[in-house]
Amino acid sequence: MTHPGTYSDRRTGAHSRSGGRPTGDLLPVVPRRGCGGRRLLVGLFLLGLVASVLPWWTDTQAGSLAGGTAKLTAAGQISGLLAGYLLLVQVLMMSRLPVLERVAGGERIARWHRDVGATLLVAVLAHMSLILVGYAGLEGRSPLGQAGVMLRDYQDMASAFAAAGLLVLVGLTSVRAVRRALPYELWHATHLAAYAVLLLGFAHQFSNGTQLFRPGPVRTGWIAFYALVVAALLYGRVIAPLAFNLRHRLRVADVVAENPDTVSIYLTGARLDRLTMLGGQFFRWRFLTRGCWWQSHPFSVSAAANGRWLRMTVKVVGSHTRDLRDLDPGVRVWAVGPSGTFTAAHRTRERALLIAGGSGITPLRAMLEELPPGTALIYRVRTPSDVLLHRELDWLAQARGVQVWYVVGSRDDPGPRQVMSADGLRRLVPDVARRDVYLCGPPGLIEQSRQLLRRAGVPRRQIHLATFEL
């Protein structure tokens, strides 16, 4: 199926699976995975939530909370335990532990991280204010005076206050409106302060925590959870990527222009036949060359695993992606991944409909090789020259029985308007409600399609979105 004649063309354009490059055999259809693992994770999380408050429940005598200040202090203790637990969960979720990535997927974990983050922020603020007011009431001071006394006299409270301040900062810079106004690098640097929160907040739990300061199983368990999270962090962030990159030693093989503002980057490396990834997944790439090495960006692969090479297809939108056009062959690449549940394995039905917009075709193109025959693809582009990987798609349409529709034109043209309606969708894909739908493209198109699909009767859990943004 390869066309050696077009190999020198330096364009991913041949009528073949891979633009004329040598590949392995055709891939088998990827079997579906259930959502049992995800439910297990949620169950474990809830169990941990209960377990974190349990020490308070057993320590506190019934009827001992007479009076308002005692109640406030008790609520402060509970919210403190909850906050301590949630902070560890937050860090654990960002540890990129392979098992978490596989079961829940990076995008979903990122969403959870957002929600738990907001909860954590409220829990920490509640913990601080309740304890301050409660203790102030006990000792007959004003809350502000109490804060001063705590900073001065209590062990480890100065660092705890610093941790709370940092956490509030991290929380506030993550509010969507604030975050959009900040440069990514600044936001990222602020977010790294969360590790300092973990460190600074550690001591005060054990020197002042009513449930934790006494040596015993509760204290030991709490410290063990800390150790577990740090171990997960170390494994997911350091050891696993190190092992992956030492094993595969990826390098840039070739950079090919797909159209004026899109490039495909081909990578080779060692033992790629042992690289397990699914189409639609992404890696965080770091190109080890001057000006690029300090940035890591997520791009999905645009071809399924073939044992010989990897490829990503990137649209030039910023300074970093502009630099990628000038990569020289041989440049080392540091990759972390694969991540993501935007894959054929996570579909709930046998058949699928893919909707791509512009350069959003790339993960879908990789998935097409692993989906069963009868898959439908709707490819929205503004002009014919925006169509990427055109010939590969045509080849896939034939070889794997994919129905491909190119919907060309601006949003208000009659063609696109007709297709992008509930009726239009049903005419193209009559059984759309019984398919999994994968969406990838500009946010506007994604949102429009999502509403459309809901109107066409597609259940929410059958709609998959590729979102790299939180």
Partner 1 sequence: MRRALFAITGLAASTTALVVLKAGPDTSRVAQELPASATPGTEESTTAAESTAEPAEATATAVPRPSVSRSPAPGQSTASPAAGGAESSGGATKKPSVAQPSTAAPRSTVRRVFGPVVSNEFGNVQVAISLTGSRIVAAEALELPERTAQSEQRSSRVDDRYSGTAGLVVQRQSADLDTVSGATATSESYRESLQAAIDQAR
As measured in angstroms, the least distance from the Cβ of 244 to partner 1 is: 32
Q: Which stretch binds partner 1 (CB under 8 A): 207-215, 264-272, 295-303, 386-394?
A: 207-215
As measured in angstroms, the least distance from the Cβ of 349 to partner 1 is: 25
Backbone torsion region of residue 271, taken as left when φ is above 0, otherwise alpha when ψ lies between -120 and 50, otherwise beta: left
As measured in angstroms, the least distance from the Cβ of 342 to partner 1 is: 20
- In the complex with partner 1, which residue's Cβ is closer, 19 or 171? 171
As measured in angstroms, the least distance from the Cβ of 320 to partner 1 is: 29
Q: Report the distance separating Cα 131 and Cα 75, nearest Å.
A: 8
Query: CA separation (Å) from 406 to 278, 351, 380, 393?
Result: 25, 20, 6, 10
Nearest to 202 by CA among 138, 259, 155: 155
Q: Does 35 bind partner 1 (CB under 8 A)?
A: no
As measured in angstroms, the least distance from the Cβ of 199 to partner 1 is: 21
Sheet with 297-300: strands ordered across = 297-300, 282-287, 333-339
As measured in angstroms, the least distance from the Cβ of 242 to partner 1 is: 34
Q: How many amino acids of this chain bind partner 1 (CB under 8 A)?
A: 40
Between β-strands 251-259 and 262-268, what pairing exists: parallel, antiparallel or unpaired? antiparallel
Interface of this chain with partner 1, residues 153 to 172, rule: CB under 8 A: 154
Buried b (16+ CB within 10 A) or exposed e, 446-462: bebbbebbeebebeeeb
Number of neighbouring beta carbons within 10 Å of residue 351? 17
Q: Are 163 and 197 in contact (CB under 8 A)?
A: yes
As measured in angstroms, the least distance from the Cβ of 71 to partner 1 is: 5
Interface mask toward partner 1 for 80-119; x: CB under 8 A:
--x-------------------------------xxxxxx
Q: Which stretch binds partner 1 (CB under 8 A): 77-85, 252-260, 280-288, 327-335?
A: 77-85
- In the complex with partner 1, which residue's Cβ is closer, 73 or 339? 73
As measured in angstroms, the least distance from the Cβ of 74 to partner 1 is: 5
Interface mask toward partner 1 for 263-302; x: CB under 8 A:
----------------------------------------
Interface of this chain with partner 1, residues 115 to 154, rule: CB under 8 A: 115-119, 122-123, 126, 135, 138-140, 154
Q: Does 465 bind partner 1 (CB under 8 A)?
A: no
- In the complex with partner 1, which residue's Cβ is closer, 62 or 246? 62
- In the complex with partner 1, which residue's Cβ is closer, 25 or 153? 153
As measured in angstroms, the least distance from the Cβ of 304 to partner 1 is: 33
- In the complex with partner 1, which residue's Cβ is closer, 133 or 233? 133
Nearest to 15 by CA among 6, 27, 28: 6
Q: Report the distance separating Cα 130 and Cα 73, nearest Å.
A: 6
Q: Does 208 bind partner 1 (CB under 8 A)?
A: yes
Q: Are 345 and 304 in contact (CB under 8 A)?
A: no
Q: Report the distance separating Cα 357 and Cα 244, nearest Å.
A: 32
Interface of this chain with partner 1, residues 36 to 75, rule: CB under 8 A: 53, 56-57, 59-66, 69-71, 73-75
Q: What are phi and psi of 248, to 5 degrees?
A: -100, -25
As measured in angstroms, the least distance from the Cβ of 20 to partner 1 is: 47
- In the complex with partner 1, which residue's Cβ is closer, 161 or 334? 161
Contacts with partner 1 by CB under 8 A lie at 53, 56-57, 59-66, 69-71, 73-75, 78-79, 82, 114-119, 122-123, 126, 135, 138-140, 154, 207-210, 213-214
